[in-house]
Structure 1
């Protein structure tokens, strides 16, 4: 190809970390198309220094590599849109999807001539080195091409040997522990609060489990604004559990917890105490039959 631009669909919260341009080689980057996205998404893309494309076809024609960074529930639809636009470059699905869904995404893109790389991002938006990793698996030359874009950047590439699905499996295995821990801690706090022993629980946890979300309610606060994304991710984790014969109940219960916080979408001022109170209120309503 005669062009080397990199496109991102759709930056969202993770895209805020791209303002320092974490890749080394790409001279420009196409953000999400101008149409069909919310004003907030367009502001985030502009604030991250991404060049907006007029539409998806312009972005796919301009870019050799396209990264999909979107809520997991939208990942397959985004892949279909890119395939319909005629993209034939390297497509990196970096979403929190199950290996099973990742295989379906690969089928959709490969049918149109694109080369697909399975990606899994762990950590916060990439603002400084050593905090965020991008695991990659699939076609070896394409994996090496993508890894080369990020080598030495704030988003550290970790190529994995083996087929598509390995990066997604690793991402979800880590997320199953990391994110379900927040749901479990919130439930424990809500249980204690409901019985009038929340202060005593926090004192106990501060001594026995000082580095966990259970030890201080402020550590739960960030989960509120992300719950709308974490809830469908739990569905992907449940699907991955089922694929290898594991019980799905952990992920399903966590999904229900996060669903109760969806109204706090992108709220950076949320407090852990408010999240715990929301769980307690919902539980009382369910117990009394109140709608």
Structure 2
């Protein structure tokens, strides 16, 4: 059966891979350009039947839709790359939709929309965000590319994907598979303005990643003082739901900490622009500027920053995250004292 449409995904990280598998299982052709990416990324693409293209130009020429799912610090760079490639492409016959699904502030989303409007107005920009874990099959059926992609006995656990802006995929004309793509991804169009979808994502991230940073500090400090078992005991008695969440969120964080530094700065911008709170994107500004510093410490000052999703060694439990974090911060303190 012919694919419903061709979807380009930039990039094939953990979330991008989950969405790629979901789309392939629902008869979409998925392509990407991973030139210069790690061997792990190339291996993931080969294993999952994702077509790798040599250039951004070939990606733009082949794709009906492009999903940008990159670290927040790269969102504007990727958008610029695509506008350049689109203007250099030849023979593009159908509209190209660009869905920015990155964890960026409404201000950044509007900047990216303005870039497309000024540099490549033919590209139809959609503001969006991803809330939750990557898509994954919930049945025992084999969702691999070798299985029947149109099989209906595979059910999926999916994140929420709010979108906003003037372009609605569920009523798009002239591009194949628009309605099917909106249905497969369960896109929720919440506004005709650019910004609300990114703002919703940032508001949710404030809860989960802000909570994770607070847990990281509390458990690391308790570990350094030798009272972590007692803190866990108190939490189990008085806030079992919070402890249960911490045991999920904290060990999941280390491979992503480097991404979250810029994301926390985007949250600071969001709360300043949209909420009226003090702070901004500068280092350490506001609550989320300080939280960005917490994740910077994880990524740059501890062994946890070396963790990869595919190969976990340290920080696979709450207790070991606290221990590794404490080791890194104590090492930093010793270096500072020795340098005085």
TM-score by length of 2: 0.76
Q: Is the contact between residue 257 and residue 279 of structure 1 (CA under 8 Å) also seen in structure 2? A: no
Correspondence 1:14 to 2:15: yes
Match of 1:28 in 2: 29
| Residue of structure 2 aligned with 1:279, choices 295, 304, 325 | 325
Q: Is the contact between residue 99 and residue 166 of structure 1 (CA under 8 Å) also seen in structure 2? A: yes
Separation of aligned partners in 1, 2:25 and 2:254: 34
Match of 1:148 in 2: 179
Match of 1:180 in 2: 210
Match of 1:255 in 2: 292
Correspondence 1:5 to 2:6: yes
Q: Describe the shift of the 1:185–1:62 C-alpha distance in structure 2 as closer, same or farther (beyond 3 A).
A: same
Q: Is the contact between residue 7 and residue 29 of structure 1 (CA under 8 Å) also seen in structure 2? A: yes
Separation of aligned partners in 1, 2:125 and 2:52: 23
Deviations 1:4-24 (A, max 9, x none): 411111121112213533378
Q: Describe the shift of the 1:101–1:216 C-alpha distance in structure 2 as closer, same or farther (beyond 3 A).
A: closer
- Comparing 269-278 with 200-209, greater Cα deviation is found at 269-278
Deviations 1:174-197 (A, max 9, x none): 001111101101111122223332
Larger Rg: 2
1:217 Cα shift?
5.0
Match of 1:121 in 2: 130
Q: Which runs of 5+ in 1 are unaligned?
A: none
Separation of aligned partners in 2, 1:219 and 1:76: 28
How is 1:1-291 mapped onto 2 (pairs within 5 angstroms)? 4-18=5-19, 20-22=21-23, 27-31=28-32, 33-86=33-86, 89-111=96-118, 112-113=120-121, 114-128=123-137, 129-142=156-169, 144-145=171-172, 148-153=179-184, 155-213=185-243, 220-244=250-274, 245-248=276-279, 249-262=286-299, 263-267=305-309, 268-269=312-313, 270-271=315-316, 272-285=318-331, 289-290=336-337
1:46 Cα shift?
2.4
Separation of aligned partners in 2, 1:165 and 1:115: 15
Separation of aligned partners in 1, 2:19 and 2:63: 17
- Secondary structure of the structure 1 residue equivalent to 2:216: helix
CA RMSD of aligned residues (A): 2.6
Q: Which runs of 5+ in 2 are unaligned?
A: 88-94, 138-155, 280-285, 300-304
- Secondary structure of the structure 2 residue equivalent to 1:136: strand
1:219 Cα shift?
5.0
Separation of aligned partners in 1, 2:246 and 2:28: 44
Q: Is the contact between residue 162 and residue 197 of structure 2 (CA under 8 Å) also seen in structure 1? A: yes
